[in-house]
A and B are shown apart, each in its own frame.
Chain A
Amino acid sequence: MAFPTMDRRAAVSRLLAARDGALVVTGLGSPSYDVHAAGDADDNYYLWGAMGGAALTGLGLAQAQRDKRVMVITGDGEMLMAFGALATISVAGPTNLDIIVLDNQHFGETGMQSSHTGRGIGLDKVAAAAGFAETAELRTLEQVDALAGRLREPAQGPRLFVLKITAENLPRSLPPRDATFVKNRFRAQLGLSTC
Protein backbone atom coordinates (compact mmCIF):
# COMPACT_ATOMS: atom_id res chain seq x y z
CA MET A 1 0.00 0.00 0.00
CA ALA A 2 1.40 3.37 -1.01
CA PHE A 3 1.16 6.14 1.57
CA PRO A 4 0.92 9.74 0.38
CA THR A 5 4.06 11.82 0.04
CA MET A 6 4.54 15.52 -0.61
CA ASP A 7 6.59 17.76 -2.91
CA ARG A 8 9.83 18.58 -1.09
CA ARG A 9 10.33 22.05 -2.55
CA ALA A 10 6.78 23.09 -1.69
CA ALA A 11 7.16 21.78 1.86
CA VAL A 12 10.46 23.57 2.45
CA SER A 13 9.20 26.73 0.84
CA ARG A 14 6.21 26.82 3.21
CA LEU A 15 8.36 26.22 6.28
CA LEU A 16 10.79 28.97 5.27
CA ALA A 17 8.05 31.44 4.41
CA ALA A 18 7.03 31.18 8.05
CA ARG A 19 10.55 31.02 9.52
CA ASP A 20 10.01 34.24 11.47
CA GLY A 21 13.71 34.92 12.15
CA ALA A 22 14.76 31.30 12.60
CA LEU A 23 18.37 30.49 11.77
CA VAL A 24 18.55 27.63 9.27
CA VAL A 25 21.20 24.91 8.94
CA THR A 26 20.90 22.49 6.02
CA GLY A 27 22.20 18.96 5.53
CA LEU A 28 24.26 18.14 2.45
CA GLY A 29 22.65 17.27 -0.86
CA SER A 30 19.04 17.90 -1.73
CA PRO A 31 18.01 19.63 1.53
CA SER A 32 20.65 22.30 0.81
CA TYR A 33 19.27 22.64 -2.73
CA ASP A 34 15.68 22.84 -1.46
CA VAL A 35 16.48 25.62 0.99
CA HIS A 36 18.48 27.50 -1.63
CA ALA A 37 15.64 27.11 -4.15
CA ALA A 38 13.27 28.74 -1.67
CA GLY A 39 15.51 31.82 -1.68
CA ASP A 40 19.15 32.36 -0.69
CA ALA A 41 19.50 34.20 2.62
CA ASP A 42 22.29 35.37 4.91
CA ASP A 43 20.83 33.41 7.80
CA ASN A 44 21.00 30.12 5.90
CA TYR A 45 23.99 27.92 6.67
CA TYR A 46 24.44 25.31 3.97
CA LEU A 47 26.49 22.16 4.39
CA TRP A 48 28.03 20.57 1.31
CA GLY A 49 29.66 17.72 3.22
CA ALA A 50 30.38 16.59 6.80
CA MET A 51 27.54 14.07 6.59
CA GLY A 52 25.98 13.59 10.01
CA GLY A 53 26.91 17.09 11.14
CA ALA A 54 23.82 19.17 10.42
CA ALA A 55 21.77 18.57 13.58
CA LEU A 56 24.81 18.98 15.83
CA THR A 57 25.93 22.15 14.07
CA GLY A 58 22.40 23.28 14.85
CA LEU A 59 22.85 22.29 18.50
CA GLY A 60 26.06 24.31 18.92
CA LEU A 61 24.39 27.27 17.22
CA ALA A 62 21.23 26.96 19.34
CA GLN A 63 23.33 26.87 22.52
CA ALA A 64 25.17 30.02 21.44
CA GLN A 65 22.01 31.89 20.29
CA ARG A 66 19.41 31.01 22.89
CA ASP A 67 17.13 33.92 21.99
CA LYS A 68 16.76 32.69 18.43
CA ARG A 69 15.12 29.61 17.04
CA VAL A 70 17.30 27.24 15.01
CA MET A 71 15.80 25.04 12.31
CA VAL A 72 17.87 22.20 10.88
CA ILE A 73 16.60 20.95 7.53
CA THR A 74 18.22 17.70 6.50
CA GLY A 75 17.57 14.35 4.85
CA ASP A 76 16.93 10.85 6.15
CA GLY A 77 20.38 9.59 5.12
CA GLU A 78 22.15 12.49 6.81
CA MET A 79 20.13 12.07 9.99
CA LEU A 80 20.68 8.32 10.02
CA MET A 81 24.43 8.96 10.07
CA ALA A 82 23.84 11.09 13.17
CA PHE A 83 21.73 8.51 15.02
CA GLY A 84 23.65 9.08 18.25
CA ALA A 85 23.11 12.81 17.90
CA LEU A 86 19.48 12.27 18.84
CA ALA A 87 20.69 11.11 22.27
CA THR A 88 23.17 13.96 22.56
CA ILE A 89 20.59 16.59 21.59
CA SER A 90 17.94 15.11 23.86
CA VAL A 91 20.30 15.17 26.84
CA ALA A 92 21.34 18.74 25.99
CA GLY A 93 17.65 19.67 25.92
CA PRO A 94 17.66 22.91 23.89
CA THR A 95 14.25 24.59 23.69
CA ASN A 96 15.15 26.47 20.50
CA LEU A 97 16.18 23.63 18.17
CA ASP A 98 13.87 22.02 15.63
CA ILE A 99 14.97 19.30 13.24
CA ILE A 100 13.11 18.80 9.98
CA VAL A 101 13.90 15.51 8.25
CA LEU A 102 13.02 15.47 4.55
CA ASP A 103 12.48 11.75 4.29
CA ASN A 104 12.29 10.23 0.82
CA GLN A 105 13.43 6.87 2.22
CA HIS A 106 16.34 6.87 -0.20
CA PHE A 107 19.90 8.04 -0.67
CA GLY A 108 18.82 10.38 -3.43
CA GLU A 109 22.18 11.91 -4.29
CA THR A 110 23.88 8.61 -5.02
CA GLY A 111 21.42 6.71 -7.16
CA MET A 112 18.27 6.41 -5.06
CA GLN A 113 19.31 3.40 -3.04
CA SER A 114 16.74 2.51 -0.38
CA SER A 115 17.60 3.79 3.11
CA HIS A 116 16.70 2.47 6.57
CA THR A 117 13.64 4.69 6.77
CA GLY A 118 12.18 2.80 3.82
CA ARG A 119 12.76 -0.42 5.71
CA GLY A 120 10.91 0.28 8.92
CA ILE A 121 12.99 2.78 10.86
CA GLY A 122 10.92 5.82 11.88
CA LEU A 123 13.22 8.69 12.84
CA ASP A 124 10.35 10.46 14.61
CA LYS A 125 9.82 7.37 16.75
CA VAL A 126 13.55 7.13 17.48
CA ALA A 127 13.59 10.79 18.51
CA ALA A 128 10.50 10.27 20.68
CA ALA A 129 12.15 7.29 22.37
CA ALA A 130 15.26 9.40 22.95
CA GLY A 131 13.13 11.96 24.79
CA PHE A 132 12.49 14.74 22.26
CA ALA A 133 9.75 17.09 23.45
CA GLU A 134 7.69 16.78 20.29
CA THR A 135 7.86 14.54 17.25
CA ALA A 136 5.59 13.65 14.35
CA GLU A 137 5.47 12.17 10.87
CA LEU A 138 3.83 14.43 8.28
CA ARG A 139 2.55 13.38 4.86
CA THR A 140 0.70 16.38 3.43
CA LEU A 141 1.38 20.06 2.75
CA GLU A 142 -1.63 20.94 4.89
CA GLN A 143 0.12 19.27 7.81
CA VAL A 144 3.27 21.28 6.99
CA ASP A 145 1.26 24.52 7.11
CA ALA A 146 -0.01 23.57 10.55
CA LEU A 147 3.53 22.69 11.62
CA ALA A 148 4.88 26.04 10.42
CA GLY A 149 2.50 27.72 12.83
CA ARG A 150 3.33 25.38 15.68
CA LEU A 151 7.07 25.88 15.25
CA ARG A 152 6.63 29.55 16.15
CA GLU A 153 5.27 28.61 19.54
CA PRO A 154 7.66 28.03 22.48
CA ALA A 155 8.96 24.48 22.81
CA GLN A 156 9.58 22.43 25.94
CA GLY A 157 12.66 20.83 24.41
CA PRO A 158 14.10 19.75 21.07
CA ARG A 159 11.56 18.83 18.39
CA LEU A 160 11.91 16.59 15.34
CA PHE A 161 9.49 16.23 12.46
CA VAL A 162 9.70 13.76 9.62
CA LEU A 163 8.25 15.02 6.33
CA LYS A 164 7.56 12.12 3.99
CA ILE A 165 8.51 13.54 0.59
CA THR A 166 8.33 12.12 -2.92
CA ALA A 167 11.52 10.33 -4.00
CA GLU A 168 12.63 12.30 -7.04
CA ASN A 169 15.69 14.24 -8.13
CA LEU A 170 14.63 17.80 -8.91
CA PRO A 171 16.77 20.31 -10.81
CA ARG A 172 19.57 21.33 -8.48
CA SER A 173 19.61 24.81 -7.00
CA LEU A 174 23.19 25.19 -5.86
CA PRO A 175 24.15 27.24 -2.80
CA PRO A 176 27.58 28.88 -2.71
CA ARG A 177 30.31 26.28 -2.31
CA ASP A 178 32.72 28.78 -0.76
CA ALA A 179 32.46 27.63 2.85
CA THR A 180 34.21 30.61 4.39
CA PHE A 181 31.95 33.00 2.49
CA VAL A 182 28.84 31.29 3.80
CA LYS A 183 30.27 31.22 7.33
CA ASN A 184 31.26 34.87 7.31
CA ARG A 185 27.96 35.95 5.79
CA PHE A 186 26.09 34.02 8.47
CA ARG A 187 28.15 35.48 11.32
CA ALA A 188 27.85 38.99 9.93
CA GLN A 189 24.05 38.89 9.99
CA LEU A 190 24.34 38.06 13.71
CA GLY A 191 26.61 41.05 14.20
CA LEU A 192 29.70 38.88 14.73
CA SER A 193 33.19 39.62 13.42
CA THR A 194 34.29 37.85 10.24
CA CYS A 195 38.02 37.50 10.93
Chain B
Amino acid sequence: MTVAEATSSGGMARDLATEWPLELYDVLKAADIRQMSYVPDAGHSTLIQLFGQDEAVTTNVLTTEEEGIAIATGAWLGGERSVVLMQSSGVGNCINMLSLPVQTRTPLLMLVTMRGEWAEFNPWQVPMGQATEAALQAIGVTVLRAETGAELVETVAQAAGMAFDADQQIAVLIGQRLLGKKKW
Protein backbone atom coordinates (compact mmCIF):
# COMPACT_ATOMS: atom_id res chain seq x y z
CA MET B 1 0.00 0.00 0.00
CA THR B 2 1.31 3.45 -0.87
CA VAL B 3 0.33 6.76 0.63
CA ALA B 4 -1.53 7.65 -2.56
CA GLU B 5 -3.48 4.39 -2.58
CA ALA B 6 -4.20 4.53 1.11
CA THR B 7 -5.37 8.09 1.14
CA SER B 8 -7.46 7.85 -2.00
CA SER B 9 -10.93 6.80 -0.99
CA GLY B 10 -12.10 6.92 -4.62
CA GLY B 11 -14.90 9.23 -3.65
CA MET B 12 -16.32 6.59 -1.30
CA ALA B 13 -16.77 7.37 2.36
CA ARG B 14 -14.50 5.23 4.48
CA ASP B 15 -15.82 2.57 6.81
CA LEU B 16 -14.31 3.90 10.02
CA ALA B 17 -14.85 0.61 11.82
CA THR B 18 -12.01 -0.85 9.75
CA GLU B 19 -10.39 2.07 7.91
CA TRP B 20 -9.82 4.34 10.91
CA PRO B 21 -6.01 4.16 10.51
CA LEU B 22 -6.26 5.83 7.08
CA GLU B 23 -8.53 8.51 8.47
CA LEU B 24 -6.18 9.03 11.43
CA TYR B 25 -3.32 9.63 9.01
CA ASP B 26 -5.36 12.30 7.22
CA VAL B 27 -6.32 13.90 10.53
CA LEU B 28 -2.69 14.03 11.70
CA LYS B 29 -1.54 15.44 8.37
CA ALA B 30 -4.24 18.09 8.59
CA ALA B 31 -2.87 18.93 12.04
CA ASP B 32 0.53 19.56 10.37
CA ILE B 33 2.39 16.70 12.07
CA ARG B 34 6.01 16.80 10.89
CA GLN B 35 7.69 14.24 13.15
CA MET B 36 6.48 10.80 14.24
CA SER B 37 8.28 8.45 16.60
CA TYR B 38 7.26 4.98 17.64
CA VAL B 39 7.83 1.67 19.28
CA PRO B 40 5.76 -0.58 17.01
CA ASP B 41 2.43 -2.14 17.81
CA ALA B 42 0.22 -4.12 15.45
CA GLY B 43 -2.53 -1.55 15.99
CA HIS B 44 -0.23 1.23 14.76
CA SER B 45 1.17 -0.67 11.75
CA THR B 46 -0.76 1.22 9.06
CA LEU B 47 0.13 4.62 10.50
CA ILE B 48 3.78 3.60 10.81
CA GLN B 49 3.79 2.47 7.19
CA LEU B 50 2.09 5.62 5.88
CA PHE B 51 4.32 8.03 7.81
CA GLY B 52 7.37 6.01 6.80
CA GLN B 53 6.56 6.68 3.14
CA ASP B 54 5.79 10.34 3.73
CA GLU B 55 8.79 12.49 2.83
CA ALA B 56 7.29 15.49 4.62
CA VAL B 57 7.41 13.67 7.95
CA THR B 58 10.55 12.61 9.84
CA THR B 59 10.07 9.27 11.55
CA ASN B 60 12.14 7.81 14.40
CA VAL B 61 12.08 4.20 15.49
CA LEU B 62 12.78 4.13 19.24
CA THR B 63 14.53 1.66 21.52
CA THR B 64 12.19 2.66 24.38
CA GLU B 65 9.10 4.84 24.40
CA GLU B 66 10.44 7.58 26.66
CA GLU B 67 12.81 8.58 23.87
CA GLY B 68 9.81 9.74 21.86
CA ILE B 69 8.73 12.12 24.62
CA ALA B 70 12.10 13.89 24.53
CA ILE B 71 12.16 13.98 20.72
CA ALA B 72 8.66 15.50 20.66
CA THR B 73 9.78 18.18 23.11
CA GLY B 74 12.81 19.03 20.98
CA ALA B 75 10.68 19.09 17.83
CA TRP B 76 8.37 21.69 19.36
CA LEU B 77 11.34 23.74 20.53
CA GLY B 78 12.36 23.86 16.88
CA GLY B 79 8.87 24.65 15.62
CA GLU B 80 7.56 21.26 14.48
CA ARG B 81 4.55 19.29 15.68
CA SER B 82 4.93 15.60 16.34
CA VAL B 83 3.09 12.50 17.46
CA VAL B 84 4.38 9.55 19.52
CA LEU B 85 2.94 6.07 18.92
CA MET B 86 3.21 3.30 21.48
CA GLN B 87 1.45 0.41 23.17
CA SER B 88 0.12 0.70 26.72
CA SER B 89 3.06 -1.29 28.09
CA GLY B 90 5.31 1.53 26.88
CA VAL B 91 3.53 4.17 28.94
CA GLY B 92 5.24 2.84 32.04
CA ASN B 93 8.61 3.49 30.44
CA CYS B 94 7.71 7.14 29.86
CA ILE B 95 6.73 8.39 33.29
CA ASN B 96 9.74 10.43 34.42
CA MET B 97 10.42 11.70 30.89
CA LEU B 98 6.87 13.05 30.81
CA SER B 99 7.99 15.59 33.42
CA LEU B 100 9.78 17.30 30.51
CA PRO B 101 6.71 18.31 28.45
CA VAL B 102 4.58 18.69 31.59
CA GLN B 103 7.01 21.02 33.34
CA THR B 104 7.91 22.98 30.20
CA ARG B 105 4.24 23.06 29.13
CA THR B 106 5.19 21.70 25.74
CA PRO B 107 2.50 20.30 23.43
CA LEU B 108 2.50 16.50 23.38
CA LEU B 109 0.27 14.10 21.48
CA MET B 110 0.60 10.39 22.27
CA LEU B 111 -1.49 7.65 20.65
CA VAL B 112 -1.55 4.56 22.85
CA THR B 113 -2.93 1.23 21.72
CA MET B 114 -4.31 -0.65 24.71
CA ARG B 115 -3.46 -4.16 25.82
CA GLY B 116 -4.54 -6.02 28.92
CA GLU B 117 -8.13 -4.85 29.01
CA TRP B 118 -10.28 -6.77 26.50
CA ALA B 119 -9.98 -10.36 25.27
CA GLU B 120 -6.36 -10.35 26.43
CA PHE B 121 -4.63 -13.69 26.02
CA ASN B 122 -1.32 -12.66 27.62
CA PRO B 123 -1.67 -12.04 31.36
CA TRP B 124 1.66 -10.19 31.42
CA GLN B 125 -0.04 -7.34 29.56
CA VAL B 126 -2.66 -6.83 32.23
CA PRO B 127 -0.76 -4.99 35.01
CA MET B 128 0.50 -2.13 32.84
CA GLY B 129 -2.67 -2.08 30.77
CA GLN B 130 -4.74 -1.58 33.90
CA ALA B 131 -2.30 1.04 35.23
CA THR B 132 -1.96 3.05 32.02
CA GLU B 133 -4.65 5.67 32.54
CA ALA B 134 -3.87 6.21 36.23
CA ALA B 135 -0.12 6.45 35.55
CA LEU B 136 -0.58 9.06 32.84
CA GLN B 137 -2.92 11.10 34.99
CA ALA B 138 -0.59 10.84 37.96
CA ILE B 139 2.24 12.54 36.05
CA GLY B 140 -0.09 15.22 34.69
CA VAL B 141 -1.05 14.03 31.22
CA THR B 142 -4.66 14.49 30.09
CA VAL B 143 -6.15 11.16 29.02
CA LEU B 144 -8.81 10.67 26.36
CA ARG B 145 -10.22 7.30 25.25
CA ALA B 146 -11.93 5.96 22.17
CA GLU B 147 -13.77 2.68 21.75
CA THR B 148 -14.88 2.92 18.12
CA GLY B 149 -13.17 4.00 14.90
CA ALA B 150 -15.43 7.00 14.43
CA GLU B 151 -14.92 8.08 18.03
CA LEU B 152 -11.16 7.71 17.68
CA VAL B 153 -10.90 9.89 14.59
CA GLU B 154 -12.93 12.64 16.24
CA THR B 155 -11.00 12.33 19.49
CA VAL B 156 -7.56 12.57 17.84
CA ALA B 157 -8.63 15.58 15.77
CA GLN B 158 -9.67 17.53 18.84
CA ALA B 159 -6.74 16.20 20.92
CA ALA B 160 -4.35 17.65 18.34
CA GLY B 161 -6.05 21.01 18.73
CA MET B 162 -5.83 20.83 22.50
CA ALA B 163 -2.19 19.80 22.40
CA PHE B 164 -0.84 22.24 19.84
CA ASP B 165 -3.15 25.21 20.31
CA ALA B 166 -3.48 25.03 24.11
CA ASP B 167 -0.02 23.63 24.99
CA GLN B 168 -1.43 20.50 26.62
CA GLN B 169 0.02 17.03 27.06
CA ILE B 170 -2.55 14.58 25.74
CA ALA B 171 -2.65 10.80 25.46
CA VAL B 172 -5.36 9.18 23.39
CA LEU B 173 -5.96 5.58 24.47
CA ILE B 174 -7.18 3.33 21.69
CA GLY B 175 -9.36 0.66 23.28
CA GLN B 176 -8.32 -2.95 22.81
CA ARG B 177 -11.92 -3.79 21.91
CA LEU B 178 -11.57 -1.55 18.88
CA LEU B 179 -8.25 -3.12 17.88
CA GLY B 180 -9.61 -6.64 17.99
CA LYS B 181 -8.26 -9.84 19.41
CA LYS B 182 -4.64 -10.64 18.69
CA LYS B 183 -4.19 -13.78 16.58
CA TRP B 184 -1.92 -16.37 18.18
Contacts of B79 in A (CB 8 A): 64-65, 187, 190, 192
Q: Are A50 and B78 in contact (CB under 8 A)?
A: no
Q: Report how far A182 CA is from B58 CA in the complex, Å.
A: 25
Q: Which of chain A's residues has its CB closest to B64's CB?
A: A84
Q: A60-B35, A63-B78, A180-B104 are in contact. Are A49 and B71 (CB under 8 A)?
A: no
Contacts of A53 in B (CB 8 A): 66, 69-70, 73, 97, 100
- Asked whether any CB of chain B lies closer than 8 Å to the CB of A18, the reply is no
Q: Which of chain A's residues has its CB closest to B165's CB?
A: A195
- Asked whether any CB of chain B lies closer than 8 Å to the CB of A87, the reply is yes
Q: Which chain B residues numbered 16 to 49 have a C-beta less than 8 Å away from chain A?
A: 34-35
Contacts of B67 in A (CB 8 A): 56, 82, 84-85, 88
Q: Which of chain A's residues has its CB closest to B69's CB?
A: A53
Cβ distance B57 to chain A, nearest Cβ, rounded Å: 10
In this complex, the interface size class of chain A, counting residues with CB under 8 Å from chain B, is 35 or more
Q: Are A87 and B63 in contact (CB under 8 A)?
A: yes
Which residue of B72, B96, B105 contacts A183 across the interface (Cβ within 8 Å)?
Answer: B105
- Asked whether any CB of chain A lies closer than 8 Å to the CB of B140, the reply is no
Taken residue by residue from 107 to 135, chain B's Cβ proximity to chain A (1 for < 8 Å, 0 otherwise) reads as: 00000000000000000000000000000
Q: Are A49 and B99 in contact (CB under 8 A)?
A: yes
Q: Which chain A residues numbered 154 to 195 have a C-beta less than 8 Å away from chain B?
A: 179-180, 182-183, 186-187, 190, 192, 195
- Asked whether any CB of chain A lies closer than 8 Å to the CB of B162, the reply is no
Q: A84-B64, A190-B79, A195-B167 are in contact. Are A52 and B97 (CB under 8 A)?
A: yes
Q: Report how far A183 CA is from B78 CA in the complex, Å.
A: 10
Q: Which chain A residues numbered 79 to 133 have a C-beta less than 8 Å away from chain B?
A: 82, 84-85, 87-88, 91-92
Contacts of A59 in B (CB 8 A): 60, 70-71, 74
Cβ distance A180 to chain B, nearest Cβ, rounded Å: 5
Contacts of B99 in A (CB 8 A): 49-50
- Asked whether any CB of chain B lies closer than 8 Å to the CB of A136, the reply is no
Q: Which chain B residues numbered 53 to 68 have a C-beta less than 8 Å away from chain A?
A: 58, 60-64, 66-67
- Asked whether any CB of chain A lies closer than 8 Å to the CB of B144, the reply is no
Taken residue by residue from 57 to 76, chain A's Cβ proximity to chain B (1 for < 8 Å, 0 otherwise) reads as: 11111111100000000000
- Asked whether any CB of chain A lies closer than 8 Å to the CB of B6, the reply is no
Q: Are B77 and A92 in contact (CB under 8 A)?
A: no
Contacts of B64 in A (CB 8 A): 84
Q: Are B104 and A179 in contact (CB under 8 A)?
A: yes
Q: Which of chain B's residues has its CB closest to A54's CB?
A: B70
Contacts of B62 in A (CB 8 A): 84, 88
Cβ distance A106 to chain B, nearest Cβ, rounded Å: 21
Contacts of B103 in A (CB 8 A): 49, 179
- Asked whether any CB of chain B lies closer than 8 Å to the CB of A51, the reply is yes
Interface centre among B71, B76, B80, B100, by most A CB within 10 Å?
B71
Contacts of A82 in B (CB 8 A): 67
Q: List 9 interface pairs A-B (beta carbons < 8 Å), by A numbering.
A: A53-B73, A53-B97, A60-B71, A60-B75, A60-B78, A60-B82, A63-B58, A64-B34, A64-B80
Assuming A62-B78, A63-B75, A84-B63, what are 14 further A-B pairs, CB within 8 angstroms? A49-B99, A52-B70, A53-B70, A56-B71, A57-B100, A60-B75, A60-B77, A61-B74, A61-B78, A64-B34, A64-B78, A88-B60, A182-B104, A195-B167
- Using a CB–CB cutoff of 8 Å, the interface residues on chain B facing chain A are 34-35, 58, 60-64, 66-67, 69-80, 82, 96-97, 99-100, 103-106, 167
